[in-house]
Amino acid sequence: MKYASLATWIQDATANGLTIRGVLATLVLSVVVAELFGYALHRLMHSGRIQFISRAHMIHHLQLYAPDQAMRGAVYKDATDGRGALGNIGVEWLAPSAAILAVCWVALWRSGVAWPYQLLALVTLIGWPLFMFSYLHDRMHLQKFWMARAPALKIWFRRARRFHDVHHRSLSDEGRMDRNFGIGFFFFDAVFGTLAKRHRPMNWRGYRVAMRRHHVDVDSTSTRFADVHIAIDERIEELPPA
């Protein structure tokens, strides 16, 4: 084994040009790239351009957390049950993410980036999306998640969760959910004009178009309208005090 201890690794990495400034720059750039590709992939899933990817993602949006259903419950409803997945990450996320990661690694290697920075960048490019688009996303659909009460995080988390609720309920006439493709941060939504800070009136026409396109069965009307009231109550509860 080449490195017997962490100290030996740090010494060798430093000799190859690892600096605090370089580490910080690598982390920031890697997070920005991860956010950009996460935004782009999420938007692609809602575009309908690749049916396999869109159809799989719409299980989450039209069957489990539909626009007229409550966004949170005691347990998370996993869209990957009975499908190919790694943990709770579906193939529609895994396959494109693996391709993006491979392209990033080749770009780093061909650019002559020192191996410590390559390693740091790849770890960040894997870890950041896992945290944002898997862990954090799933917890946004849970009631009483600890981040909603943590003093240092609750303002950011509740705002991000509200924006994600808007994403679930923003339907175009063509049946596309076309707003707020970020999860924890929405910088690229602002850049590309897809940011929405408030709920729009429910687009029932677009909802019916989406249901027909993806062949989703409709539950009983009474149950669904009960869920509408639950969702409204949740949104009122989350409003800041007057």
pTM of the complete model: 0.81
Give domain status of residue 22, yes or no: yes
Give domain status of residue 165, yes or no: yes
pLDDT > 80? residue 182:
yes
Give domain status of residue 144, yes or no: yes
Give domain status of residue 26, yes or no: yes
Number of domains forming the structure of the chain = 1
Query: Which residue carries 């898997």 as its tokens?
Result: 134
Q: Which residues contact 105 (CB under 8 A, 6 or more apart)?
A: 118, 122
Give the residue numbers spanning the domain of 226.
7-238
Give domain status of residue 183, yes or no: yes
Give domain status of residue 1, yes or no: no
In terms of Cα–Cα distance, which of 143, 167, 163 is closest to 72?
Answer: 143
Per-residue pLDDT of 111-156, as tens digits, reads 888 888 999 999 999 999 999 999 999 999 999 999 999 999 999 9
What is the rounded distance in angstroms from the CA atom of residue 91 to the CA atom of residue 36? Answer: 20
Give domain status of residue 233, yes or no: yes
The helix (H) or strand (E) run that includes residue 86 is strand 85-86
The helix (H) or strand (E) run that includes residue 163 is helix 154-169
Instruction: Give the range with max mean pLDDT: 53-62, 92-101, 116-125.
Output: 116-125
Query: Please, are residues 133 and 88 in contact by the beta-carbon 8 Å criterion?
Result: no
Query: Which residue carries 């009631």 as its tokens?
Result: 143
Query: Please, are residues 134 and 97 in contact by the beta-carbon 8 Å criterion?
Result: no
What is the rounded distance in angstroms from the CA atom of residue 187 to the CA atom of residue 221? Answer: 37
